[in-house]
Chain A
Amino acid sequence: MVIEMPTQSDGENRMIKANKRTRFSVAVSVVCALMLLASVPVKAADATNPEADRKAFQAFFFAKFPKVAKDDFANGPYAVNEGMRKQWKEIMEFPPYDPALDEGHTEWDKPFANGKTYADCFDNKGEGIRQTYPRFIAATGQVETLEGAINRCRVENGEKPLNWMTGMMASLTAVMAESSRGKPFDITIPDDPRALAAYERGKEFFYARKGQLGMSCASCHVSPAGERMRGDILAPALGILAAMPIYRSDWGSMGTTIRRISSCSAQTRSLPLEDNGEDYRDLEYFLSYMSNGIAIAGPGTRP
């Protein structure tokens, strides 16, 4: 029996074959890994889909508060706490925002120095349009709030802008809200990447933790909604802007949406950002879109 000893060239051949097998295995592994990655579904939260967000957002609150009627979410803590609701009904016998409405109506009808009025700046003379604010303005590529539209109207007519938070601004937005009572929020997000980006920034602001207390808007107004935080009942995020502007007993005066967001920031020990700046405007855009379909109930009252 002759045993054929491997030659040097046979050894080299085996090494080459082994190398080829290794390379083939690596290639197959890489292809498999890539296929696996491609097959992982994109998390819904990672993709911008405002309408899917809105449906899921509203479904959460309808499931959490099955006894609360859809439009009642505009009434915040009064919709989810029976004791507070009783107090609120008594308060509403003489609504504390009435003086602001009177002041607002007078101002609304008063012509600017150039003879024009607020009504000249808005669609339908400003009647029944509050539910469409905030709006994405294609010309500027930015979100415009109702307060922003009022101040733009003033500046374009040679008047000084109003304080964003309270006073006459709150009175004017109260007048516009009153004319939209019962009309459902109807916020549109046009097919414009800038509008979607604004929506996404607003969503991030809502969910991102801020301040020394490490709280986000959602920390109070989503899962713990309806529960107590010290003496307060936390309002559900759904419909939370539908009653704006509000007379807040804690303030003893009227306040706009901007004032409420700013004071919320301060309550988490986060330094409030620019009044009516992009951050707050985008947050309002997101939050209002989430409430599409909830009827406007402003002006409102809050504890």
Chain B
Amino acid sequence: MMRAFFFAAGFAMLSLPALAATQAEAEAALAAAQTTEAQAVAAKAAWTSTEADLAAARKALAAENWDAAKAAADEARSQAQLSIDQANEQKTSWRTAIFH
């Protein structure tokens, strides 16, 4: 029983550093999100929600909250990619919405 407890505790302690983002990871996530969002803007497909997530990531980065910065940046990148996918899909499917 004690062995199992120590094993679990040790495993949990080992995994803690992996959960916390570093400054470098947060900055890399933000850079990636900004690149994807730039592609969305160029495609005239950007979403305001992405901009909000990017702003949140920059704010968290400035506050040295790396976890929050990385989480917001990852979300922004995901939103930006979805907006690009939407624009690509709508290039042809918009015609199905025509009622006349």
Q: Would you call B51 and A208 a contact (CB within 8 A)? A: no
Q: Would you call B48 and A208 a contact (CB within 8 A)? A: no
Q: Would you call A46 and B95 a contact (CB within 8 A)? A: yes
Instruction: For the A-B complex with A207-B95, A269-B48 known, give 8 more contacts whose Cβ atoms are closer than 8 Å.
Output: A45-B100, A56-B100, A57-B100, A208-B94, A209-B97, A210-B86, A211-B48, A269-B49
The 8 Å CB contact of A53, one of B51, B95, B100, is: B100
The 8 Å CB contact of B51, one of A57, A60, A210, A271, is: A271
Interface residues of A in 7-61 (CB under 8 A from B): 43-46, 53, 56-57, 59-60
Q: Which residue of B lies closest to A45 (CB)?
A: B98
Q: Which residue of B lies closest to A57 (CB)?
A: B100
Q: Would you call A207 and B98 a contact (CB within 8 A)? A: yes
Question: How far, in angstroms, from A59 to B99 measured CA to CA in the complex?
Answer: 11
User: Is A275 close to B, CB under 8 A?
Assistant: no
Q: Which residue of B lies closest to A279 (CB)?
A: B44
Question: How far, in angstroms, from A230 to B82 measured CA to CA in the complex?
Answer: 26
Residues of A within 8 A of B (CB): 43-46, 53, 56-57, 59-60, 203-204, 207-212, 214, 216, 218, 222-223, 266, 269-271, 273, 279
Which residues of A have CB within 8 Å of B51?
Answer: 271
Question: How far, in angstroms, from A130 to B50 measured CA to CA in the complex?
Answer: 38
Q: Which residue of A lies closest to B48 (CB)?
A: A269
Q: Would you call A209 and B47 a contact (CB within 8 A)? A: no
CB distance from A166 to the nearest CB of B (A): 20
Which residues of A have CB within 8 Å of B50?
Answer: 212, 271
Which residues of B have CB within 8 Å of A46?
Answer: 95
Which residues of A have CB within 8 Å of B49?
Answer: 212, 269
Known: A208-B90, A210-B86. A218 touches B45 (CB 8 A): no
Contact-residue size bin, chain B (C-beta under 8 Å from the other chain): 20 to 34
Q: Would you call B79 and A209 a contact (CB within 8 A)? A: no
Digitize B22-44: 1 where CB-to-A-CB distance is under 8 Å, 0 elsewhere: 00000000000000000001001
The 8 Å CB contact of B47, one of A43, A207, A212, A216, is: A212
Q: Would you call B99 and A209 a contact (CB within 8 A)? A: no
Question: How far, in angstroms, from A269 to B80 measured CA to CA in the complex?
Answer: 12
Q: Which residue of B lies closest to A204 (CB)?
A: B94
User: Is B46 close to A, CB under 8 A?
Assistant: yes
Q: Would you call A222 and B99 a contact (CB within 8 A)? A: yes
Which residues of B have CB within 8 Å of A209?
Answer: 86, 90, 94, 97
Q: Would you call B44 and A273 a contact (CB within 8 A)? A: yes
Question: How far, in angstroms, from A45 to B98 measured CA to CA in the complex?
Answer: 7
Question: How far, in angstroms, from A53 to B73 measured CA to CA in the complex?
Answer: 44
Which residues of A have CB within 8 Å of B100?
Answer: 44-45, 53, 56-57, 59-60
